[in-house]
Amino acid sequence: MTERFGPDLLRGSLDLLVLSLLSSSPGYGYDLQQRLREASGELVQIQAGTLYPLLHRMEADGFVRCRWEQSTGRRRKWYELTAAGKRRLVSQTREWDRYVACIRAVLDPVRTALEG
């Protein structure tokens, strides 16, 4: 089994990952946690203690909105992306791509040395 990513590496990208999950369909906390685990091939496991504050922060920022449902007999809080959240996802994705390309370029000599 491949090693999971370290928390330092993940910190800056969790927002983006959660936004991308919500762009395909609304979700509630536990559901998003599981979906992220599956989507990442078990490599990304976000802690509940990290996920809920993150969701609340995105709600306060207006990137997601919530609604409550009672169908399970318990109150369940569902999150969905707002228009601002969609814009955020697009801009963050672009930024992330540029970042990855940049890091890749910087690391090229290291990679060559390792392979060579």
Binding residues vs other proteins (CB under 8 A): 28-30, 47-49, 52-53, 56-57, 59-61, 68, 72, 74-77
CB of 90 to other proteins, least distance (A): 23
Write the CB contacts of 78 (distance below 8 Å, at least 6 apart in sequence).
26, 27, 28, 66, 67, 68, 69
Identify the sign of the CA torsion 27, 56, 11, 92.
positive
Nearer to other proteins, 49 or 116 (CB): 49
Q: What is the rounded CA–CA span in Å between residue 112 and residue 27? A: 42
Nearer to other proteins, 1 or 74 (CB): 74
Nearer to other proteins, 45 or 104 (CB): 45
